[in-house]
Each structure stands twice: as C-alpha cells, then as structure tokens.
Amino acid sequence: MLPTTLLLSAFAALAATSPVVKRSAGPGCGAPSRAPVLPKTGGTSDLPNPDSGLALKHIALGFGIQNYTCKANATATATGALAMLYDITHLYPRQGAESLPLQEFNNLTSKALWTHKVPLNMNGNGPGASQTNPFPPDAPLQLQGQRPLPFLGHHYFDAAGVATFNLDSGKIHLPCSKISQVDAPKGADKGPEGTGAVGWLYLGGKDGAVGAKFVYRVLTAGGATHGCDKVSGTDSTSYTATYWFYG
Ligand SMILES: *[C@@H]1O[C@H](CO)[C@@H](O)[C@H](O)[C@H]1NC(C)=O
Ligand SMILES: *[C@@H]1O[C@H](CO)[C@@H](O)[C@H](O)[C@H]1NC(C)=O
Ligand SMILES: *[C@@H]1O[C@H](CO)[C@@H](O)[C@H](O)[C@H]1NC(C)=O
C-alpha cells in the first residue's frame, strides 16, 4: 500500500536535512525538533522547492471529494473539489509529544480514507456532496487510536471556479492557481474506489491571498476519476491529501 520509494526518499530527505531549528521543550522524547521536510517526489519528476525565504505555516490533512464531468467517450474534466482540513503539523516527526514516526505520518491520508467516512454532507441520491450545504459543522476528525485531529478549515472552489483554501479562522485565505503538477508515485493509494491517486500539486496564491502564498498537495490517496467509460455527467471520488502551506 505504501510507496516504498516515497518513504525511502522521504527518510533520505529527512536524514540529509541537518539544521536543528529548535530544541523540543515539551514532554516528548527529548529529540531535537526539526523543520518538516516537504515530500516532493511524486514519481519520475519532483515538484519545485518552496522559496527559501518562506516559512511553513501549516500541514493539513484534506479529506473530501474530487469532482469531474464526463462527456461520452471523452476524457474526464476536473471541475473542483471540496474538503475539510485538519491540522496535522504537530504530528510530523520531532515536532512534540504527539509526533508520529514518519511512516505513520505519511500513511495518515490512507488511514483516514480507509477507516473513516468522508466528512461531508453527502448527496442523498446521486454522487458527491450536498449542492447547498456540503460542509458539516466545524469539528475535529477522530481516527482510530489517535487523539482527534483539530479542525483547521475548508477547501472548495469559489463561484468563479478558483481553488480556494480558508483556514485558521480566516487568518489564511488562499485563492490559487496551479503552478506545477507531477503524477502521484506508482505505489500511491488508489483509494477505496480503486480509481487511483490524484497528482501532487504546487499552487500559487492569486489576488486576495492572505496569510500564505503557496500550497502543495502531496501524499495523495484516491480521488482520480472513475472514467468516462463508466460514468457520464458528474463524477465524484473520495480522496485525502496533505496540504503544506507556505508564506
Ligand atoms: C463512443 O465510441 C464508440 C466507439 O468508437 C462509438 O460507437 C459511440 O458512438 C461513441 N459514443 C458517443 C456518444 O460519441
Ligand atoms: C496504512 O493505512 C492503511 C489503511 O488504514 C493500512 O491498511 C496500511 O497497513 C497502513 N500501512 C502502513 C505501512 O502503515
Ligand atoms: C461536486 O459535485 C457535487 C455533486 O456531486 C456537488 O454537490 C458539489 O457542489 C460539487 N463541488 C464542486 C466544487 O464542484
């Protein structure tokens, strides 16, 4: 299930990154804290590094749906996404008492997608989420054997079709557009619907961005289209991903 190459490269990246930014003051294991290292290797090519002057603001777990439209015999067109965002920054290795081993951190997307229902108000009949009220009340995500993941915000497409993130009580508002994309790794989690994992993305803020400038979507699970040979009209697939916000 877990992409071995990804894990290896993530471990290598962690090992190769030496700057010790702060000492853990919390009740953790006492290991020095390190700045989280963005996974960039989707497959054969890497996403670009974040600009060196920028700081990591949050790592979020996104959990929701990817939407498509299908015309007969055509390639599906991505039309948007809806997701709840949960803060997992503190779960990255060596951040504090709740930090996970890297392998477990990298597998949080799979764990959520396979063990928890999509945290959206789903459409009673037909695919996808409610047209009118897709987001449930703000609440943490409770995964098995884990302290609840704090609610952080929402990901949606605005009325003009712009991918938008709103988190941290509006302190970060990020309408954005795609800068680059790489395929998910070969071994990426295809999701419970078996469609495949959506690509890894690097998105840049547009006019109106507040509190962050860039966001990466990496460690994706599920979310690819069922395909226009199977679905016509609206298609919707559950997915999870980690989103890394820089500003
Ligand atoms: C889809 O392709 C098949 C095979 O080429 C063709 O028979 C069919 O008419 C096409 N359907 C539409 C809606 O274009
Ligand atoms: C990752 O999570 C999935 C789903 O919970 C689980 O089946 C799998 O064993 C986990 N893989 C690892 C390497 O922990
Ligand atoms: C996704 O599709 C569902 C219906 O399947 C719809 O309720 C929702 O508004 C759509 N969201 C986006 C962002 O396209």
pLDDT tens digits for range 119-147: 999 877 666 788 788 999 999 999 999 99
Which of 20-24, 123-127, 201-205, 234-238 is predicted least confidently?
20-24
Average pLDDT rounded to a whole number, residues 48-73: 93
Strand partners, 233: 70
Can you give the pTM of this predicted structure? 0.84
Ligand 2 in reach of 1 Cβ (< 6 A): yes
Ligand 2 in reach of 115 Cβ (< 6 A): yes
Closest to 185 measured CA to CA, from 62, 57, 4: 4
Atom of ligand 1 nearest to the CA of 73: 1
Nearest CA to ligand 1 atom 3: 73
**How confident is the model at residue 122, as a pLDDT?**
85
Q: Ligand 1 centre from 76 Cα, in Å? A: 15
Ligand 1 in reach of 73 Cβ (< 6 A): yes
pLDDT tens digits for range 8-26: 444 444 444 434 334 444 4
**How confident is the model at residue 13, as a pLDDT?**
43
Dihedral of CA atoms 24, 87, 112, 189 in degrees, nearest 10, equals: -80
Ligand 2 in reach of 114 Cβ (< 6 A): yes
Atom of ligand 1 nearest to the CA of 71: 13
Closest to 64 measured CA to CA, from 117, 23, 15: 117
Ligand 1 in reach of 72 Cβ (< 6 A): yes
Are the beta carbons of 182 and 3 closer than 8 angstroms? no
Are the beta carbons of 16 and 198 closer than 8 angstroms? no
Average pLDDT rounded to a whole number, residues 229-244: 93
Closest to 246 measured CA to CA, from 13, 7, 37, 8: 37
End-to-end, the C-alpha distance of the chain in Å comes to 33
Pocket probe for ligand 2: among 5, 91, 106, 107, the residue whose CB has the most ligand atoms within 8 Å is 107
